Amino acid sequence: MTVTANPFTKVWAEADLAELPNDGTRYEIIDGRLYVAPPAGEPHQALGGSIYLQLANAAPKYWRVLWEIGLAIGDNRFIPDLIVLPPGMPTADKDYNDVTVIKPQLVVEIASRSTQTTDAGDKMIAYAQGLIPAYWRVARDGTVFMHRLMTEDAYTLVDTVKPGDKTKVFFPFELTLTAPRP
């Protein structure tokens, strides 16, 4: 009997990303594992666009709301759907090497069929360990789950907003958020 090495034991690093095709596919690294997601579809973009517009319209002067920017946390490499940067934060770039110094105040992930489990699990844990103060996860039906960093490495669910419902948000800045409808 011949024993071969498991082909799935590769530990991925940032340098490996340069070898992957630039085809619109989202490649992320979490704990040395490569996560691959196809380009977002229209329902995903509609949910994300709604949240983006609400955040961008409410953002105080010099705050920035950005879409699909590369984010480095330790050896992990992410492309969150949305991030909110406070005033004075350096300019972000899709090149991971240029974003290791940015620290979003909020990361928003919009669930899709291929990402909903990772968004609620590995990514949430990694963002908390990266000390990002707030994390919102938008379910495929438009429900917004709002989490705040309440301990040094774990989020607490602070609000759940159903599609079409409104809530007053005070962090990262004040706004009245309406959960989007798909």
Quick one: pLDDT at residue 138? Answer: 96
Domains delineated in the chain: 40-178 (3.90.1570.10)
Please state, in angstroms and as integers, the Cα–Cα distance from residue 119 to each residue in 4, 56, 145, 154, following that order. Answer: 33, 22, 11, 14
Quick one: pLDDT at residue 44? Answer: 84
Please indicate whether residue 109 or residue 6 has the higher confidence score (pLDDT): 109
Alpha helices by DSSP H, listed for the chain, are 14-17, 42-58, 116-120, 122-129
